[in-house]
C-alpha cells in the first residue's frame, strides 16, 4: 500500500513539474504555429473521415483539436497557475500539452 501511495505522489509531482515547464514556453514561440494550425483545421470539416471506406471508424475530431490548440496559447498568469487550471478545469489532466 505504501508503494502505491509513493507512486501516486510521484506521479502528481511529475504532472505538476511537466505542466509548469510546458507553460514556461514563451507565447511568441507558439502563436505563429497556433495560427497556422487553426487555419488548417478551419479549412476542414469538424469531423472529417480519413478513410472513405470506413468513415465512422476513421473520423478525426477537429472540434476538440481546435479547443486544445487554442488552450496551448495560455494567458498571462504564472506558469504554475496556468498549468494546473487550464481553462478553469483542473480535474482533467491536460497531458497532451506536454507532448
Q: Over the stretch 13-66, which tens digit does the pLDDT of each residue have?
A: 988 888 788 777 777 777 778 888 889 899 988 898 888 888 888 888 888 888
Backbone angles phi, psi at 93, to 5 degrees: -80, 115
9, HSE (Cβ side, Cα atoms, 13 Å) = 6
- Assess contact for 83 and 25: CB atoms under 8 A: no
DSSP 8-class letter at 45: -
Q: What is the pLDDT of residue 7?
A: 95
Question: What is the value of pTM for the model shown?
Answer: 0.57
pLDDT digit string, tens, across residues 70-85 = 776 766 665 666 666 6
Amino acid at each position: 500500500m505504501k508503494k502505491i501511495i509513493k507512486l501516486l505522489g510521484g506521479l502528481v509531482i511529475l504532472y505538476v513539474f511537466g505542466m509548469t515547464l510546458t507553460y514556461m514556453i514563451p507565447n511568441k514561440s507558439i502563436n505563429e504555429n497556433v495560427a497556422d494550425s487553426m487555419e488548417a483545421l478551419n479549412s476542414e470539416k469538424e469531423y472529417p473521415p480519413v478513410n472513405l471506406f470506413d468513415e465512422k471508424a476513421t473520423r478525426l475530431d477537429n472540434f476538440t483539436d481546435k479547443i486544445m490548440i487554442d488552450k496551448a496559447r495560455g494567458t498571462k498568469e504564472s506558469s504554475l497557475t496556468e498549468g494546473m487550471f487550464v481553462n478553469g478545469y483542473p480535474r482533467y489532466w491536460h497531458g497532451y500539452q506536454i507532448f
